[in-house]
Chain A
Amino acid sequence: MYVPDFEYHAPNTVAEACAILAELGDRATVLAGGTDVLHKMKVGKLTPEHLVSLKNLDELREIREEPGRVVIGALASHNQIYNSRLLQRRYLSLPLAAHTMASNQICNLGTVGGNIVNGVPSADLPPILIALDASIRLTSARGERTLPLEDFFYGSAQTRIEPGEILTEISIPDQQTTGSTYMKFGLRRSGALAVAAAAVSVQVSGDTLHGVRIVLASAAPTVLRVTAAERSLIGRRIDDELLTEAGNFAAQASRPRDSIRGSAEYRKNLVGVLTKRALRKAIEEGHA
């Protein structure tokens, strides 16, 4: 399979990368793991004049703890997230979500930054990161900005990244939540995209739900947080009825499409079941 010609750049620092991107504008495509970019170039969906590789920016591979937050570099691979002791200890739900993705070979190449910026509604990491209230930092020659990950997506493969910007890090603030989880249904256990998936986080004390976030994948043209449903659940006593109601809310809020992986009706049904199960798990098992 042929990959069309392009000009290749491999800057050594973030500043240098930003300078190159500022000069090239939308003629350049950023290259991280390449699992989406090279795929698209091979099937003719993408023909960039310039590829700007981030491979030399080792500082963006780091996963570290800072006061008040956990910081994940945009170049951390899925397997790095899965194997991170720090993330396993703090938010096991995130490594486990990374483990539901793709094959081992893809998980060694693909990065969390690429998974976010690619912007597809079936991506596995954005839902759980949004459930954990993550924000992202975008850096360009013009400076830096931080925004909630939730506000980054606005349509299928449409994000608020601007030409010249690099996603440098993802930041998870210390939590009030008591539990979180990601539950996905794919057509095989390993290496399949989500037919539908639900990420949740909960704040529980005693038998009361004090806080909840519900975020769905493959349930709308974009990753979907169902805030209306969340509001109606807060402050209520946790029982089976409440969880069923939450599932129904999430199913109603979803706007899935028919595709070869599943019909819209089937997906709505799945969303209901997965949301209910995910909530129960997060309530009972914490961040797992």
Chain B
Amino acid sequence: MAQAITDKDGVKRYLITLNVNGDAHTVLVKGNAILTNVLRDQLDLTGTKKGCELGDCGSCTVLLDGKPVDSCLVLAVEADGRQITTIEGVAANGRLDEIQQSMINHAAVQCGYCTPGMVLSAKALLTRNPNPSEQEVREAISGNLCRCTGYVHIVEAVMATAQGRVTPDDH
């Protein structure tokens, strides 16, 4: 178990290590700290959004050991030692990931609030299944609610990525 530190007021905190986007961060958290808040407030990774905070909307989606989860329903102490990918870790070497580029090309982003979670859900799907059917894409993003786009453009963007039809200047 993570090292527990009790301060002079008797409040217990835990020294945990979160491996986020390839970097190990050691942070001190209270037992009741929620992963979303630790990512946003302590690690300054504000790409992870907060919507319902009850597991319904998916805007807080991160990958935990490669699998999408709602970080609003995860205690930070429970993620001690595990691998986390947030939206900040998707682009590599200053270049957007194909799925991000495809979302832009297909105008699949409007207000953008759902987009980080949507990208992570889609990315996890394509890693597991490089050639999904439209139904599989719809299922994979069904836990990510979007108020703006009606999903059609998002689904097209994911399908185009799967089929290798994404080019940087394809508009």
Using a CB–CB cutoff of 8 Å, the interface residues on chain A facing chain B are: 1, 3-10, 12, 31, 33-35, 38-39, 42-43, 51, 53, 55-56, 79, 102-106, 108-109, 188-191
With a CB–CB cut-off of 8 A, which chain A residues contact B113? none
> Which of B71-79, B84-92, B100-108, B151-159 is the interface stretch?
B71-79
Using a CB–CB cutoff of 8 Å, the interface residues on chain B facing chain A are: 1-2, 12, 14, 30-32, 34, 53-55, 58, 61, 64, 67-70, 72-75, 77-78, 121, 124, 138-140, 142-144
Please tell me if the beta carbons of A35 and B55 are within 8 angstroms of each other in the complex: yes
With a CB–CB cut-off of 8 A, which chain A residues contact B74? 34, 38, 109
Please tell me if the beta carbons of B68 and A8 are within 8 angstroms of each other in the complex: no
Q: Considering the complex, give the chain A residue whose CB is closest to the CB of B77.
A: A8
If the complex has contacts A38-B73, A39-B55, are A5 and B67 also in contact, measured as CB distance less than 8 A? no
Bound Cα distance A33, B34 (Å)? 14
With a CB–CB cut-off of 8 A, which chain A residues contact B139? 104, 190
The 4 A-B pairs of least Cβ separation, nearest first, read A103-B143, A8-B31, A190-B142, A1-B53
Bound Cα distance A79, B128 (Å)? 13
Q: What does DSSP make chain B's interface, helix, strand, loop or mixed?
A: mixed
Query: How many A-B contacts are there with CB distance less than 8 Å?
Result: 93
If the complex has contacts A34-B78, A39-B73, A105-B68, are A5 and B30 also in contact, measured as CB distance less than 8 A? yes
With a CB–CB cut-off of 8 A, which chain A residues contact B34? 1, 3, 38
- B117 CB to nearest chain A CB (Å): 8
With a CB–CB cut-off of 8 A, which chain A residues contact B30? 5
Jot down 5 A-B pairs with beta carbons below 8 A, ordered by A: A5-B31, A103-B70, A105-B55, A105-B69, A189-B142
- A51 CB to nearest chain B CB (Å): 7
Residue in A3, A10, A56, A109 whose CB lies within 8 Å of B70: A109
Interface centre among A12, A31, A104 (most CB of B within 10 A): A104
**Further pairs besides A34-B74, A105-B58: 20, Cβ < 8 Å:** A1-B54, A4-B32, A5-B30, A10-B1, A10-B77, A35-B55, A39-B54, A39-B55, A39-B73, A103-B58, A104-B68, A104-B142, A104-B143, A105-B61, A105-B70, A105-B121, A108-B69, A109-B69, A188-B142, A190-B143
